[in-house]
Structure 1
Amino acid sequence: MVVQLQLQLVLQLISFLWLTKASAATPPSLAMPDCQDTCGNISIPYPFGIGEGCYQNVSFKISCNNQSFKPFLNTGNLEVLDISLEHGTVRVNSPVITNCNGTVELVTGIAELNGSSFSFSTAYNKFTAMGCDNLALMTRNGHDLGGCVSICNNDIATESGCDGVRCCQTSVPASLQTFSVKMTRAGLNNNATDTVGCKYAFLVDQDWFTAHLSSDPFTVRSMRYVPVVLDWSIANWRCPYRLGTNYTVSCSRTGYNCSINSNLNGCSCRRGLEGNPYLPDGCQDVNECLDLERDVCHGMLCRNRNGTYECYSRRSTAKVVGLGIGIGVGLLFLLLVSFWLYRIVKKRKNIKLKQKFFKQNGGLLLQQQMSSDEGSVEKTKIFTARELEKATDNYNENRILGQGGHGTVYKGMLVDGRIVAVKKSKIVDESQIEQFINEVAILSQINHRNVVKLLGCCLETEVPLLVYEFISNGTLLEHLHDQSDEFPILWRDRLRIATEIAGAVAYLHSAASIPIYHRDIKSTNILLDDKYRAKVADFGTSRSVTTDKTHLTTLVQGTFGYLDPEYFQSSQFTEKSDVYSFGVVLVELLTGQKAISSTRSPEEKSLAVHFILSIKENRLFDILDARVVKEGEKGKLIAVSNLAKRCLNLNGKKRPTMKEVAMDLEGVRMSQGNFSIQQNAQEIECYIPETSSLWDVCSTSTGYASLENSAALPLDIQPLLLNPSG
């Protein structure tokens, strides 16, 4: 007997868990398939609907306000508060009519429902009037339909209840679709003080009124709207009836009950079913056996049936338990086998998916570059996707270091404790994949203390990943434009940073095994380590060139404020284009100002133009950073400014090479005492395009306080592939 009871309990537990799992399924939508079923927190069941093909007829069309997420009924443009399929009602907001004009008669129309599937519910609504000596009437086409009078009684101090003193109510006529409210003085009070104040009239859901306003009806004075219940029905609808085994009209193929009264001619799911009877298969079974509070079988065993349930005695428990255990063991075995097979299939699928991603992310191209003579990436470590997920805490948003045009950079920690930066590229097309592989190949060739070091990559994920050394102190742009007194960038540090950047770019141009053009030098691509040493980063748009070529012909890419105007006009990128971009960074270090700024005059939005014009007008020391002027020697500041001016020359041929720039900066930096510099007159051409001028002012002059060329990039010139975010 004990064993039998234990087996029964096991069967009930298995049965309960199985039924609980089944009941946890998402309830079916009450809207038409592929239609929006909610607006805000309001459910929109069929025959109502949002969008074409989602409602039964135009009366049931719902509009969902995209800003307030409130639904509005197409009929009368009434805000919908809730919809009941069971009662065939919809609750909407209706206005509170106010008359504060004393004895003046006020007539106001209420929502027009004529010709629709809706009427004001007689069963749920009450016409209500408030105020002293207030005669409020419902009228239609000049005929009174009903109303009430609210009087004042000075002996009553409270404003509670609605029994005719200050508040009165009356019923609503049947099948009412439109009416007007007429309010005027009833003339029942002789005391003048009893007639002052505003009068109110409105139609209201009586249940809502009782719950919210019965203790103090005059709370309505601060309200613009109150809820009203509308009855609805479908035109030409006939209740289903049985003829033999067929139904001439069907609410649902699963089950229904017909509901008929004076206000509703529709259908509902029969007992034991729930859902939307107006949809095909809309009524679904309710599992009564899971209702532990009701205990429908009163201690007996319960078995759910479609639309009902079955109770059976414990006498057949042993047989049922044996059958249940057999089924349970069989199901458990099937589950274990299924799980084992699922793991095998999933493992094979993951391997194939990684192979697919490897090819998709340019793995074959990388292998080709690894085996070529032009670029060796043999030292690059190949990370697994699992390693980098663990390192970045599954790419947690809190680990994001920065975002740019080519991807997002996360801070991570490898298993050996090293802190790294993981660059997760965006989902890209083939051309962008080529850029990614290009960055791997380029960075793998570079071994320079002022160039960010590539540690490895991962190609087995949907988006390609690069792993760099972690640079702890952020970008040069952040330090220049968000300076604090605690960690200021001194002039000697700025000069050192400029020298380090110039040395790194000079290395790329002339010392690397294959010349490399960076193509996006800017202060956001200069990182600072814990000792504030400069690191050149972001080689996503860089290109290597053969030694017999002097330029690349490409679609224009770059960042406003740093873009070489000569490259912009010709689409030919040379090493001197990097020199121009470096010149802008050098001016940023001198002035502490941004490359593009809307606070400057329109013709001087470009820092390059602003700088050249200031030199021309002998205002160099007016635009230099106050800290730089205070800490720097005048001769050195003039020398560096002239070097920046040379880098910004419109004629690329007349710009110095990056190697010359690096040597000049190193010379200025290493010099002791007073630094003197001699200036030779240089004649500079001003290049003006035929179609639109990139330079607004051109002149020729001599000395450090002169303007060789001044330039402005008009904001209305937008090259197709310009990349302002890097």
Structure 2
Amino acid sequence: FLVESLVDTIFSYVSYALGAIASCALVIIIGFCAGRTVYRRKNHKRRVKGKETLLSDSNRSLQILQFQFSTLEKATDSFDQAHKLGHGGNGEVFKGTLADGREIAIKRLYIRGKANTNEVYNEMDIISRAQHKNLVRFLGCCFTNTDSFLVYEFLANRSLDSILFDPEKKTELDWNRRLGIIIGTAEGLEYLHKGCQFRIIHRDIKASNILLDLKHKPKIADFGLARFYSCDKSLISTAIVGTLGYMAPEYLAQGRLTEKVDVYSFGVLVLEIVSGVKNSEFHPTETFETLIVNAWKHFQSNTVLEIIDESIMMEDVGEITRVVQVGLLCTQESPSLRPSMTTVIQMLKEKDFHLPVPSKPPFADECARLSSSFDSSCHHRQTSCLSDLCTFHSFKKCDPE
């Protein structure tokens, strides 16, 4: 009897112990599963919001609307090619229509490597901080495992280059509209340089990055290359980025990055708008002149009329000549001689504002030497190596190939 009682007691204790161990193990397993689920959910949210977190700084927390991929997919009919507005080196742009009827522009980005990823974050950061009537409005973003999307307001007339350099469409741009585009772009740049809380250099001002609304009002777009800067000293850029033909000589040669780099690009754009000719496609038959050098020579000889786009109904040749002079002042070789965008706006709006005589533009002497030294076969090819303002500091002659 004692033995049986002892066995029963031991069995009871063992049963209780096993039950307790089993209960503890079950609690641990449940806790582990619950913890892992919570961790995964938090980590997923962290990944989704990771792009947004990267845009925060000590001064301001940026709030960016995150679109659902399904919303963008539905808005573009699964990114049908019929809705494609254009493409570039960094991605392609689609027109979309939201459920409430609003039209949007969706930039689907090609993300290859850390550099391009940083460029996307940089564009989101800058365009979220900068709000102005002459800057394209950023609406939000969407990130999936395979694609990244930036969403902007849709502008019906698309980019300036699609109209300005089209022989038929350019007739839409009479002089008043062209002058409005010039002044509006100048006001947008002035805001970036002075009016915004964080001063910004765009670094890629050109006709394809100026968008036009229904009334042909301009808005500066594409801030992927833009940089914040301090007015105390110029930035030294380790990587020279931008579009050949629009980059200032001091930036090409030394990487010196100030707001005067944008002023130079703006000056090139002004001359393109007046002439209706793209700088990189300006290939005079007899010379190696750039568009800027050619305009300067005509200004010097009082023959500006010869470079004005024939599609412009010229009511005031004097006003157009004055705008050409502003463009030449912006493209002077020395950055210290170029006016600020604030001064540019005064020059454009105030007809009694005194304009100094522009100095010789970059590469003028090199163009003259090349024109006199190359034989007729090179001339017949009608190719100008300097048409895209290649760095003459590094290249002393054009490659005939």
**Shorter-normalised TM-score: what interval?**
0.7 to 0.9
Q: 2:152 maps to what in 1?
A: 468
Question: Is 1:384 paired with 2:68?
Answer: yes
**What are the residue-to-residue correspondences of 1:134-149 with 2, within 5 Å?**
none
Q: 1:696 maps to what in 2?
A: 367
Any conservation in 1 of the 2:347–2:353 contact (CA below 8 Å)?
Answer: no
Match of 2:162 among 472, 478, 486: 478
The structural deviation recorded for 1:541 is 0.8
The structural deviation recorded for 1:559 is 1.2
Q: 1:655 maps to what in 2?
A: 338
User: SS of the residue aligned with 1:423?
Assistant: strand
Match of 2:203 among 501, 513, 519: 519
Q: How far apart, CA to CA, are the structure 2 residues paired with 1:504 and 1:681?
A: 25
Any conservation in 2 of the 1:451–1:536 contact (CA below 8 Å)?
Answer: yes
Q: How far apart, CA to CA, are the structure 2 residues paired with 1:383 and 1:718?
A: 47
Could you list the per-position Cα deviations for residues 449-471 of structure 1 after superposition, in whole angstroms to 9, with x for gaps in the alignment? 11100000112341211000001
TM-score (norm 2): 0.76
Q: How far apart, CA to CA, are the structure 1 residues paired with 2:256 and 2:185?
A: 23
Q: 1:642 maps to what in 2?
A: 325
Q: How far apart, CA to CA, are the structure 2 residues paired with 1:395 and 1:567?
A: 38
Relative to structure 1, the CA distance from residue 694 to residue 455 in structure 2 (aligned partners, 3 Å threshold; closer, same or farther) is: farther
Q: 1:248 maps to what in 2?
A: none
Q: 1:291 maps to what in 2?
A: none
Q: 2:19 maps to what in 1?
A: none
Q: Percent identity?
A: 31
Q: 2:296 maps to what in 1?
A: 612
Q: How far apart, CA to CA, are the structure 2 residues paired with 1:663 and 1:373?
A: 36
Match of 2:189 among 505, 514, 519: 505
Any conservation in 2 of the 1:376–1:444 contact (CA below 8 Å)?
Answer: no
Amino acid at match of 1:667: E
The structural deviation recorded for 1:433 is 0.6
Q: How far apart, CA to CA, are the structure 1 residues paired with 2:155 and 2:362?
A: 40
Question: Is 1:584 paired with 2:268?
Answer: yes
Question: Is 1:406 paired with 2:90?
Answer: yes
Any conservation in 2 of the 1:438–1:540 contact (CA below 8 Å)?
Answer: yes
Q: 1:190 maps to what in 2?
A: none
Any conservation in 2 of the 1:565–1:650 contact (CA below 8 Å)?
Answer: yes
Amino acid at match of 2:261: S
Q: How far apart, CA to CA, are the structure 2 residues paired with 1:599 and 1:712?
A: 7
Relative to structure 1, the CA distance from residue 607 to residue 685 in structure 2 (aligned partners, 3 Å threshold; closer, same or farther) is: closer
Q: How far apart, CA to CA, are the structure 1 residues paired with 2:204 and 2:98?
A: 29
Could you list the per-position Cα deviations for residues 122-141 of structure 1 after superposition, in whole angstroms to 9, with x for gaps in the alignment? xxxxxxxxxxxxxxxxxxxx
Amino acid at match of 1:369: L
The structure with more strand, counted as a fraction of residues: 1
Relative to structure 1, the CA distance from residue 592 to residue 482 in structure 2 (aligned partners, 3 Å threshold; closer, same or farther) is: same
User: SS of the residue aligned with 2:147?
Assistant: coil
Could you list the per-position Cα deviations for residues 331-366 of structure 1 after superposition, in whole angstroms to 9, with x for gaps in the alignment? xxxxxxxxxxxxxxxxx9xx89x949947xxx5353
Q: How far apart, CA to CA, are the structure 1 residues paired with 2:391 and 2:126?
A: 34
Match of 1:573 among 245, 257, 260: 257
Q: How far apart, CA to CA, are the structure 1 residues paired with 2:157 and 2:362?
A: 40
Any conservation in 2 of the 1:596–1:605 contact (CA below 8 Å)?
Answer: no
Could you list the per-position Cα deviations for residues 686-712 of structure 1 after superposition, in whole angstroms to 9, with x for gaps in the alignment? 777xxxx994359xxxxxxxxxxxx75
Any conservation in 1 of the 2:163–2:169 contact (CA below 8 Å)?
Answer: no
User: SS of the residue aligned with 1:366?
Assistant: helix
Any conservation in 2 of the 1:514–1:547 contact (CA below 8 Å)?
Answer: no
Q: How far apart, CA to CA, are the structure 2 residues paired with 1:367 and 1:411?
A: 28
Relative to structure 1, the CA distance from residue 512 to residue 420 in structure 2 (aligned partners, 3 Å threshold; closer, same or farther) is: same
Question: Is 1:667 paired with 2:353?
Answer: no
Relative to structure 1, the CA distance from residue 624 to residue 388 in structure 2 (aligned partners, 3 Å threshold; closer, same or farther) is: same
Unaligned runs of 5+ in 1: 1-347, 669-675, 699-710, 720-726
TM-score (norm 1): 0.43
Match of 1:373 among 36, 58, 61: 58
The structural deviation recorded for 1:396 is 1.4
Q: How far apart, CA to CA, are the structure 2 residues paired with 1:462 and 1:613?
A: 52
Aligned residues: 339
**What are the residue-to-residue correspondences of 1:270-285 with 2, within 5 Å?**
none
Question: Is 1:459 paired with 2:130?
Answer: no
Any conservation in 2 of the 1:357–1:460 contact (CA below 8 Å)?
Answer: no
Any conservation in 1 of the 2:328–2:361 contact (CA below 8 Å)?
Answer: no
Q: How far apart, CA to CA, are the structure 2 residues paired with 1:454 and 1:694?
A: 43
Q: How far apart, CA to CA, are the structure 2 residues paired with 1:718 and 1:357?
A: 48
User: SS of the residue aligned with 2:222?
Assistant: coil
**What are the residue-to-residue correspondences of 1:157-196 with 2, within 5 Å?**
none
Amino acid at match of 1:432: N
Q: How far apart, CA to CA, are the structure 1 residues paired with 2:324 and 2:337?
A: 16
Q: 1:72 maps to what in 2?
A: none
Q: How far apart, CA to CA, are the structure 2 residues paired with 1:546 and 1:678?
A: 30
User: SS of the residue aligned with 2:246?
Assistant: coil
Could you list the per-position Cα deviations for residues 146-174 of structure 1 after superposition, in whole angstroms to 9, with x for gaps in the alignment? xxxxxxxxxxxxxxxxxxxxxxxxxxxxx
Amino acid at match of 1:531: K
Match of 1:364 among 7, 26, 50: 50
Q: 1:118 maps to what in 2?
A: none
Q: How far apart, CA to CA, are the structure 1 residues paired with 2:71 and 2:257?
A: 39
Any conservation in 1 of the 2:305–2:317 contact (CA below 8 Å)?
Answer: no
Unaligned runs of 5+ in 2: 1-36, 370-385, 395-401
Q: How far apart, CA to CA, are the structure 2 residues paired with 1:390 and 1:467?
A: 14
Larger gyration radius, structure 1 or structure 2 = 1
Could you list the per-position Cα deviations for residues 106-128 of structure 1 after superposition, in whole angstroms to 9, with x for gaps in the alignment? xxxxxxxxxxxxxxxxxxxxxxx
